């Protein structure tokens, strides 16, 4: 079943709706985003993205710098609002009910007629706050830990809205630190940890919320290759058990092929192709996809 559906999402930066329309018209005629920027002065973040992300899949978003990856993922927790389009999220999916040992659960398709799916662009401030607390968590490229908080305080931070006592929050945080292999470091401060350890804390913090959707924007890109490979393995092992819906951004095709069940390739704000690594390798939609796949180590 689909967990997230993007329908005709376009994002033109720093333009009002009339200004954006001129850029969208040129894009509809097939002009590329660089030429649109030259002609109109507006930056194209995304153009007409239609993408379904399935519940429980690890979906990679791939593309060169400036292709729109961060723009896309930031729409999913509404750090960015689109110029046009809809974003439907099934808020009833949770990792407990669509676990692999319960294949009957959540088999209904998500679409606008389903009462389970909400268009997150229609949420008011309070509903959006609730959505961010209960549905989506983010792991940041540069870890985003609070420097004056200890490791356990950082991990427990996202739980402060959950009406739990401090000791309960710390118990949950301790569990997730253990899951990412960081027991015994709970009283350390972030700057006492290596980059790989800090990102494990970032991952534990996101997992501790128990939110079903995990957004990861270049989360491993700042790490050394060996540590990066270890975190990829750890993420895959966790995903195997937790069955979260993970949207994972990378510009590294090797990483995408290793972790992604499906990969979506962006170029100049357009979605070129979505498929399994094997689909992309055997049936690339264009030269851009083919070049990525042949560049794979
Ligand atoms: N706040 C902004 N204001 C104006 N233009 C922006 C803004 N953010 C992004 N853009 C433009 O939108 C396009 C897509 O940018 P985006 O950051 O989504 O790409 P990306 O694929 O994440 O790149 P990278 O790999 O470098 O992180 C680029 O042309 C960029 O210049
Ligand atoms: Mg980016």
pLDDT along the chain (297 residues), means of 10: 97 95 97 96 98 97 96 97 97 57 42 71 96 94 93 92 89 94 93 94 94 96 93 94 95 95 98 97 95 83
CA of residue 152 to ligand 1 center, whole Å: 33
Give the pLDDT of residue 109.
Answer: 45
Q: What is the pTM of this model?
A: 0.92
Residue ranges of alpha helices (H) inside 4-63 are: 17-28, 33-40
What pLDDT is recorded for position 95? 54
Q: Which of 32, 64, 67 to mutate to test the pocket of ligand 1 (most atoms within 8 A of CB)?
A: 67
User: Given ligand 1 and candidates 71, 74, 255, 269, which is best to mutate, with the most ligand atoms within 8 Å of its CB?
Assistant: 71
Measured from the alpha carbon of residue 74, the closest ligand is 1
Gap between the Cα atoms of 204 and 177, Å rounded: 6
**Ligand 2 mean position, distance from CA 73 (Å):** 9
Per the CB < 8 A criterion, the answer to whether 53 and 3 are in contact is yes
Question: Which residue carries 């800090």 as its tokens?
Answer: 198
The CA 207 to ligand 1 mean position distance, Å, reads 27
Interatomic CA distance for residues 150 and 138, integer angstroms: 19
Around ligand 1, the residues with Cβ closer than 6 Å are: 13-14, 43, 45, 63, 65-71, 251
pLDDT on residue 104 = 38
- Candidate from 70, 217, 249 with most ligand 1 atoms within 8 A of CB, to mutate: 70
The protein residue whose alpha carbon is closest to atom 27 in ligand 1 is 65
By alpha-carbon position, which residue is closest to atom 24 of ligand 1?
A: 65
**Residue 185: what pLDDT?**
93
Token pair of 22, please? 């001129």
Q: What are phi and psi of 44, to 5 degrees?
A: -90, 115
User: CA nearest 72: which of 25, 10, 130?
Assistant: 10
* pLDDT for res 208: 94
Return the ligand number nearest the Cα of 68.
Answer: 1
Class in CATH terms, 2-135+211-294: alpha beta
| 5, 127, 132 from 76: Cα distances, Å | 10, 14, 10
Instruction: Kindly report the protein residue whose alpha carbon is nearest to atom 4 of ligand 1.
Output: 13
Distance CA 61, CA 98 (A): 23
- Going by CA atoms, what residue is nearest to atom 26 of ligand 1? 65
- What are the distances in angstroms from CA 246 to CA 64, 123, 137, 261? 20, 22, 10, 10
pLDDT tens string 11-65: 999 999 999 999 999 999 999 999 999 999 999 999 999 999 999 999 999 999 9
Distance 269 CA to ligand 1 centre (A): 9
**What atom in ligand 1 is closest to the CA of residue 269?**
14
Between CA 130 and CA 135, with CA 133 as vertex, the angle to 5 degrees is 90
Ligand 1 centroid–CA 193 distance in Å is: 30
Q: Report the pLDDT value the prediction gives residue 99, as an integer from 0 to 100.
A: 39
Q: 266 C-alpha to center of ligand 1: Å?
A: 12
Q: What distance, in Å, lies between the first and last C-alpha atoms of the chain? A: 32
Joined tokens for residue 124: 């008011």
């Amino acid at each position: 079943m689909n967990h997230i559906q993007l329908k005709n999402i376009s994002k033109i930066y720093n333009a009002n709706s009339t200004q954006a329309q001129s850029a969208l018209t040129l894009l509809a005629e097939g002009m590329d985003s660089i030429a649109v920027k030259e002609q109109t002065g507006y930056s194209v973040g995304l153009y007409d993205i239609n993408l379904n992300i399935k519940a429980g899949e690890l979906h990679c978003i791939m593309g060169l710098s400036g292709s729109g990856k961060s723009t896309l993922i930031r729409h999913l927790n509404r750090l960015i609002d689109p110029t046009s389009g809809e974003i439907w999220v099934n808020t009833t999916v949770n990792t407990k009910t669509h676990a692999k040992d319960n294949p009957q659960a959540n088999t209904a398709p998500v679409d606008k007629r389903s009462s389970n799916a909400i268009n997150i662009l229609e949420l008011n401030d309070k509903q959006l706050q609730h959505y961010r607390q209960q549905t989506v968590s983010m792991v940041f490229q540069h870890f985003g830990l609070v420097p004056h908080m200890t490791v356990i305080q950082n991990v427990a931070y996202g739980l402060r809205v959950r009406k739990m006592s401090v000791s309960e929050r710390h118990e949950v945080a301790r569990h997730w630190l253990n899951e990412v292999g960081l027991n015994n470091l709970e009283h350390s401060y972030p700057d006492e940890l290596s980059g790989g350890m800090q990102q494990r804390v970032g991952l534990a913090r996101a997992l501790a919320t128990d939110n079903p959707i995990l957004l990861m924007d270049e989360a491993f890109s700042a790490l050394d290759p060996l540590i990066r490979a270890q975190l990829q393995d750890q993420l895959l092992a966790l995903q195997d058990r937790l069955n979260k819906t993970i949207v994972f951004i990378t510009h590294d095709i090797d990483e995408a092929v290793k972790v992604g069940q499906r990969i979506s390739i962006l170029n100049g704000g357009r979605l070129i192709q979505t498929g399994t690594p094997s689909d992309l390798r055997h049936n690339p939609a264009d030269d851009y996809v083919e070049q990525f796949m042949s560049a794979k180590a």
